[in-house]
Amino acid sequence: MLGACLVLGTLLIALFTAFKEPKETISANFSILPENWLWSNFTDVLTSDIWGRYFFNSLFITITVVVLSILLSSLAGYAFARLEFRGRHGLFLLFLCGMMVPSQVYIIPQYMLLKGFPLAGGNNLLGQGGMGLLNTYWALIIPFLAAPLGVFLIKQFYMGFPKALDEAAILDGCTTFQVYTKIYLPLSKPVFGTFAILKFTGTWNDYFYPLIMTNSKEMYTVQIALQKYHGEYGIQWNYLMAATAMTILPILLLFIFCQKYFTAGIVTSGLK
């Protein structure tokens, strides 16, 4: 309860700061509520830079990553849960090891692979001479498609389905892929909602990868754009908080619409 109050209080202070005048944000007489509510802080932020482009970049990258990750994770989760093949359990454990390795460990190998991608970004067939996939959307999408957590959640969710469903569908003439598409996918909304929220939040809030993989302003995401308010002579707190409030809005909307799936998916995946 105390933690929730601290988080809520911090968010409210940040939101109220977004409406303050610059002098209020650095005043010694601190007050939570602004003296004058300046809606112009938001319009100033939107008109001062190409924020439309930043939001488009973040939304396009995040939505693409979420959709493709759900598709690939559900296929892998179904294979681990229902298909019998040699080395299945060992491969699944190896796959889960990906959750234990921090991204900072493999950022340099990923950077080199993306830079040396053949026939992309001016590279020749040997991956030399250009920048490869760096400074493109693919550089911010491909590294996030492998999602061990998603595979784990979906696999555990599918393990709770009775095998009689598969057997009945096969007796009715369904192939293995049709069992997946006609039975498992329609019943996967809870776990998909859970994974979508987690993946959306992680991708949308990511700062490290866009900073390393992009070098042009047109490819910046909203998290990179927030750094412009950290100037040499101080921080423009009112503009920074206004921009921050706009960047957290998509996450709040997603959680509001998917919270019932989030709760149900976490409980179900953990128990089954």
pLDDT of residue 199: 93
Alpha-helical runs (H) found in 160-188: 163-171, 176-179
Reported confidence tier of residue 224, pLDDT bands at 50, 70, 90 = very high
Q: Which amino acid is at 257?
A: F
Does residue 43 sit within a domain?
A: no
Alpha-helical runs (H) found in 49-181: 51-82, 88-96, 103-115, 137-141, 148-159, 163-171, 176-179
Does residue 184 sit within a domain?
A: yes
pLDDT above 70 (res 270):
no
pLDDT of residue 271: 47
Does residue 109 sit within a domain?
A: yes
Q: What is the CATH number of the domain that holds 152?
A: 1.10.3720.10
Q: Which amino acid is at 255?
A: F
- The model carries a pTM of 0.87
Does residue 7 sit within a domain?
A: no
> Rounded distance, CA 221 to CA 207, Å?
8
pLDDT of residue 265: 52
CA angle (106, 208, 105) in 5-degree steps: 15
Q: Report, as an integer, the average pLDDT of 57-63.
A: 96
Domain that holds residue 212: 50-236+243-271
* Domain count for the chain: 1
Beta bridge partners, 235, equal 230
